[in-house]
């Protein structure tokens, strides 16, 4: 989640439009994190499943914040 924290800081500083290169890069990096989380096997462990679920929700919230700023 350290990478997500860093990307969130960049999203907070972002000023521009959805067509900007920096917007597309941030969106791609956040989507990549979601894909990495999706590939984590929980092995039936509830704690791993819960941590993954919370991380996914956090990254989705950052993506939504980016979308609002890109309008």
Q: What is the pLDDT of residues 6-57, one digit of tens each?
A: 999 999 999 999 999 999 999 999 999 999 999 999 899 999 999 999 999 9
CA distance 30 to 60: 8
The domain made up of 3-70 has a fold known as Methane Monooxygenase Hydroxylase; Chain G, domain 1 (1.20.58)
pLDDT value at residue 1: 77
Positive/negative CA dihedral, 16, 20, 26, 32: positive
pLDDT value at residue 12: 95
pLDDT value at residue 71: 81
CA distance 11 to 68: 10
pTM of the model: 0.90
pLDDT value at residue 2: 86
pLDDT value at residue 45: 94
């Amino acid at each position: 989640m350290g990478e997500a924290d860093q990307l969130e800081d960049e999203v907070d500083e972002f000023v521009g439009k959805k067509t900007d290169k920096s917007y597309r890069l941030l969106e791609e990096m956040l989507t990549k994190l979601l894909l990495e989380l999706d590939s984590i096997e929980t092995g039936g462990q509830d704690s791993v499943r819960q941590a993954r679920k919370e991380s996914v929700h956090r990254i989705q919230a950052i993506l939504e914040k980016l979308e609002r700023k890109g309008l």
